[in-house]
Amino acid sequence: MIRMCFLLSLLVSASAMADEPMMTDFGKTKDGKAVELYTLKNDTGLVAKVMTRGATLVQIHVPDKDGKSEDVILGWDDVAGYESEDNQYFGCTTGRVCNRIANGKFSLNGKDYSLAINDDPNHLHGGVERSLDKVVWKARPYTNDRGHGVRFNYTSPDGEEGYPGTVKALVSFFVPKDANRILITYKATTDAATPINLTNHAYFNLGGAGSETVLDHVLQLNADKYTPTDDTLIPTGKIVDVAGTPLDFTKQKRIGARIEKLTDTAALGYDHNFVLNPKPDDKEHNFAALLRHKESGRTLRILTKEPGIQFYSGNFLKGQKGKDGKTYAHRSAVCLETQHYPDSVNQKAFPSTVLQPGDEYKTSTLLQFGIAKGATGN
């Protein structure tokens, strides 16, 4: 009897271990740090892979209308690809401040700060060498009765990439057992006032990573307004209506239908921050975007606690080779980055991105994958 109970205990333990997110080696960085890759699976066909360098989404596999699964985000098969010049923030956590800060400068509490200029003449996505997408985070996988996840932790010391304050950041990815969803949660604390604005920079093509174009996708954004920019893509401070412009995605529209009207602008296509409409109810997350691919039937619905979303149409993709040797052509994927507005630290009229000591930065975004039910776009 004792032996039987012991064997049963071993079987239960083995089953629990099998349910844990699987960790594999993903290589080493140029400075010799080991990078781990975690695989999250559920019972409905979703497989997500995330790595410790940059708290990065490496793969998202979801089924199409016929049940065939494809990886729908851009990336590489090893760390070397992510450390190459061809990496344009694929799948990473960007920060401390995502998007742009004008001239790489801001002031807090009477002190001026200067940041790297890596998108001349502005600062972009947190810096150059030690931005959050380029450091190796510590990972802790977990399982509960709802599903599986991985928590990534990183402590950014005072002065890293020019930002004030020691920031303790946590980013978690959670996959429920019974739905094709990924919940991304962000938390941070600081010991000195500092701007924080975190997002994930995944490049999506619902036809599968490496598909020729994303212009055949249909998009809807829950945004009646956007923040216009100057010629360096810094917001002017105004918030204006999308109505009557190529930026009107309040109803489902094909991405390629009007993009050429923006080709000769500073954005070179779509690269705009949209102001999300207020939540009409007490739901935790606000509907932000719907992306749909007719041929595969796949859809992506994005919900968030953030006030804005950056729609970027892959204007700088240049044919680099990615996973399985697939080519990432110009405008073959889109980014839909939930965020506070760009340059908010210098724009008093925008929602603040400044985190104070004693407060906690906390936000989340939900990626919901599905199959379309007859919706059409123009």
- The per-residue pLDDT for 17 is 39
Q: Taking a C-beta distance cutoff of 8 angstroms, is the pair 196, 94 a contact?
A: no
114, two tokens: 């200067």
- 212 as an active site residue: the answer is no
285, two tokens: 């997350």
Buried b (16+ CB within 10 A) or exposed e, 38-68: bbbbbeeebbbbbbbbbbbbbbbbbbbeeee
Catalytic residue among 61, 161, 337, 340: 337
Cα dist from 76 to 88, 138, 146, whole Å: 11, 21, 30
- Options 2.40.50.140, 3.90.79.10, 2.70.98.10, 3.40.50.2300; CATH of 20-371: 2.70.98.10
320, two tokens: 């680099």
- 61 as an active site residue: the answer is no
Residue 303, C-beta contacts closer than 8 angstroms, at least 6 positions apart: 285, 286, 287, 288, 365, 366, 368
C-alpha to C-alpha distance for 310 and 374, rounded to whole angstroms: 27
- The per-residue pLDDT for 279 is 85
- The per-residue pLDDT for 377 is 47
pLDDT in tens, the chain (378 residues): 444 444 444 444 434 434 579 999 999 999 999 999 999 999 999 999 999 999 999 999 999 999 999 999 999 999 999 999 999 999 999 999 999 999 999 999 999 999 999 999 999 999 999 999 999 999 999 999 999 999 999 999 999 999 999 999 999 999 999 999 999 999 999 999 999 999 999 999 999 999 999 999 999 999 999 999 999 999 999 999 999 999 999 999 999 999 999 999 999 999 999 999 998 877 789 999 999 999 999 999 999 999 999 999 999 999 999 999 999 999 999 999 999 999 999 999 999 999 999 999 999 999 999 999 864 444
Catalytic residue among 61, 123, 148, 201: 201
The label of the residue with tokens 């859809």 reads 299
Region label for 266, one of left (φ > 0), alpha (ψ between -120 and 50) or beta (otherwise): alpha
C-alpha to C-alpha distance for 95 and 56, rounded to whole angstroms: 12
